[in-house]
Amino acid sequence: MLDRFGLLEVMRASRLTQFPISPVLRETHGFKGRLSFFLLLAGALLFTFVSLEQDIRASGTSLQPGWPMLILVVALLVALGFEFINGFHDTANAVATVIYTNALPPRFAVAWSGLWNFLGVLFSSGAVAFAIVSLLPLDLLLKVESNAGLAMIFALLIASILWNLGTWWLGLPVSSSHTLIGSIVGIGLAHGAMSGHLGLSGSAWSQLLTVGYALLLSPLVGFVSAFVLLRAMSASIRNRALFHSPEGRTPPPGWIRGLLIVTCTGVSFAHGSNDGQKGIGLIMLILIATVPLAFAVDRAHSPEQTRQLLGLAQASQAQLQHAGGGAVSGDPRQVLLAYQQAPRVGPDLLPSLGVVIGDVATRLERHGEMAKVPGDEVQALRNDLYLSLETIRLLDQGEQNIDLETWSTLQALRTEGEKTIRFIPVWVKVAVALALGLGTLVGWRRIVTTVGEGIGKTPLTYAQGAAAQLVAMLTIGAADGFGLPVSTTHVLSSGVAGTMSANGSGLQWPTIRNMLLAWVLTLPAAIGLAAGLYWVFAQVL
């Protein structure tokens, strides 16, 4: 079917450009390089599972050999595999311009980019990780340890991996963010259909629209900004050698070479701090599902932090009961879940929220410290707190008749509660950083060839590489500051296309059509893959 429409041939053309392949793209790794890579990979896996085992022991939990341990190990390997593929799929864009313009040798460039991806993940805020997770159906997140929750996790990861690998094999610069969002939508639609209703909840729609705007607008920003920047450079820089394509292995002039290296560093760091968080969010879901006692809440909370959370919960409960002015006529948790599906403030909403927050306060008061909450209560504590915080967040986006004092208390509870359930162990960040960094070391050549020689009718010049890279660094860094997931691939590729238009060299429309087609197909393909896999895994599990 694909060949019938000529799509496969268009995709293959992205790897077969009209120019001789740059000599730097013909280099291959030797035996020592491969050996070093596999030793680093083995060390990263050893570190991950030893750290996991130490955290499980510290919580007083023990995992016996069997299905639970097998599911945990397989899920973690798949999640780390997703980040590894993200490394050589998306991060190739970060090194494309410095490699193609000879600013850095390929081996050093990918190692340097891998290092800064690693550091980007380590210093990330976590905002993007939880923004991605909150797109998933709330009722599945509240029972993530169930069969349906595990089906959600595996479908999400495997669908994303399959599409990313397929497009990488064809040399297509496709967004891992785009793929992941499509997979989340597919799971939400499939879960809704299997539960008897179509569509996504109001909460998921609001988050999806925010993320969708970021993914849609960032390539436009990249194209226009790079176009304007190259025109400005052309008007102000007298050295015309910067506007010619590299010859052989000739490096660019010193200052432009420095700019290319700095922007490569910035894009790599921004990519790690933005895209790396998606893997962090998924791994935290896996850990909460399989080892809730160790990871459902932050058991390292001090007694003082627990008392502060308890005080806010008690104050919120009392104020909501006064504001609601009535008793709850049904299950309060079902009232809050219904509000997530259709955000309309009914008479039962505030009293129901007060009851659920009151249950959180009761558990905290009974045990005194987070570390002393027993295993049979920790998942319930996390779910009640999560459901309460999501309700407060959704109330914040709509109209509510709540007095200022009550609203201030709820916002303080939300801030303190998020510290309890939205925490990231250091070893999880390190594991994701290692997977992303090691992924950068392999597979970059296909995407670099497309970016350097497949987008424009002439090969990439020094000035074009610097302009596109600078715009990508600033755009991705700004998005990370606002907690928005954007596509490194789309921003940089559109930036390169913008510089080609500004330079008057023109675009290779087969490649551009190929990239646009892949951009259009990514969402429906990921939705279909994830929905189908979720249905299959839900039946099997």
Could you read off the pLDDT of 244-291 as tens digits, one per residue? 777 767 788 788 888 888 888 888 887 788 777 888 888 888 888 888
Q: Is the pLDDT of residue 418 over 70?
A: yes
Q: Is the pLDDT of residue 385 over 90?
A: yes
pLDDT at 11: 37
- Summarised one tens digit per residue, pLDDT across range 19-44 is 445 555 556 666 777 888 889 899 99
**Which distant-in-sequence residues (6+ apart) come within 8 Å of 360 by Cβ?**
313, 381, 384, 385, 388
pLDDT at 172: 65
Residue 1 confidence class, pLDDT cut points 50, 70, 90: very low
Q: What is the dihedral of CA 537, 192, 214, 112, to 10 degrees?
A: -10
Torsion angles phi and psi, residue 456, rounded to 5:
-100, 165
pLDDT at 315: 92
- Select from 118, 116, 53 the least CA-distant residue to 294: 53
pLDDT at 19: 45
Interior angle at CA 487, CA 486 and CA 491, nearest 5: 105
Contacts by 43-46, CB closer than 8 A, 24 or more apart = 44/431, 44/434, 44/435, 44/438, 45/80
Q: Which residue has the higher pLDDT, 436 or 198?
A: 436
Tokens of 245: 């394509």
Question: What does pLDDT average to over the chain?
Answer: 79
305 close to 95: Cβ distance less than 8 angstroms: no
Give dist(CA 508, CA 249) in Å, integer.
24
> Which residues are registered as beta bridge partners of 456?
507
Residue 325 confidence class, pLDDT cut points 50, 70, 90: low
Residue 101 confidence class, pLDDT cut points 50, 70, 90: confident
Question: What mean pLDDT comes out for the span 325-338?
Answer: 79
Residue count (the chain)? 541
**Which distant-in-sequence residues (6+ apart) come within 8 Å of 147 by Cβ?**
538, 541
Q: 3-state class of 325 per DSSP?
A: coil
85 close to 165: Cβ distance less than 8 angstroms: yes
Instruction: Tell me how far CA of residue 60 lies from CA of 16, 207, 299, 306, in angstroms.
Output: 57, 36, 11, 20
Question: What mean pLDDT comes out for the span 325-334?
Answer: 76
Give dist(CA 396, CA 286) in Å, integer.
29
Q: Is the pLDDT of residue 17 over 80?
A: no
Question: What mean pLDDT comes out for the span 288-306?
Answer: 85
pLDDT at 377: 86
Interior angle at CA 295, CA 145 and CA 315, nearest 5: 100
Give dist(CA 325, CA 303) in Å, integer.
33
Please state, as a whole number, how many other Cβ atoms lie within 10 Å of the Cβ of residue 486: 31
Torsion angles phi and psi, residue 14, rounded to 5:
-65, -20
Q: What is the pTM of this model?
A: 0.77
Q: Is the pLDDT of residue 338 over 80?
A: yes
Tokens of 379: 């998942």
Q: Is the pLDDT of residue 97 over 90?
A: no
Residue 529 confidence class, pLDDT cut points 50, 70, 90: very high
Instruction: Tell me how far CA of residue 277 lies from CA of 133, 152, 489, in angstroms.
Output: 10, 19, 16
Q: Is the pLDDT of residue 312 over 60?
A: yes
Please state, as a whole number, how many other Cβ atoms lie within 10 Å of the Cβ of residue 112: 20
Give dist(CA 537, CA 198) in Å, integer.
20
Q: Which residue has the higher pLDDT, 205 or 468?
A: 468
Please state, as a whole number, how many other Cβ atoms lie within 10 Å of the Cβ of residue 108: 12
Question: What mean pLDDT comes out for the span 486-505?
Answer: 79
- Summarised one tens digit per residue, pLDDT across range 345-380 is 777 888 889 999 999 999 999 988 888 888 778 888
242-253 burial code (b ≥16 CB/10 A, e <16): bbebbeeeeebe
Residue 131 confidence class, pLDDT cut points 50, 70, 90: confident
Q: Is the pLDDT of residue 444 over 60?
A: yes
Give dist(CA 537, CA 535) in Å, integer.
6
Question: What mean pLDDT comes out for the span 306-327?
Answer: 84
**Which distant-in-sequence residues (6+ apart) come within 8 Å of 334 by Cβ?**
none
CA atoms within 13 Å, Cβ hemisphere of 374: 3
> Which residues are registered as beta bridge partners of 507?
456
Give dist(CA 520, CA 527) in Å, integer.
12
SS (H, E, C) 477-510: HHHHHCCCCCCHHHHHHHHHHHHHHHHCCCECHH
Number of helices and strands (H, E) in the chain? 22, 0
Question: What mean pLDDT comes out for the span 46-73?
Answer: 83
Question: What mean pLDDT comes out for the span 190-217?
Answer: 68
End-to-end CA distance of the chain: 33
CA atoms within 13 Å, Cβ hemisphere of 92: 27
Please state, as a whole number, how many other Cβ atoms lie within 10 Å of the Cβ of residue 210: 15
DSSP class of residue 200?
Answer: -
User: In whole angstroms, what separates CA 91 from the centre of its chain?
Assistant: 13
One-letter amino acid for residue 385 of the chain: L
Q: Is the pLDDT of residue 14 over 60?
A: no
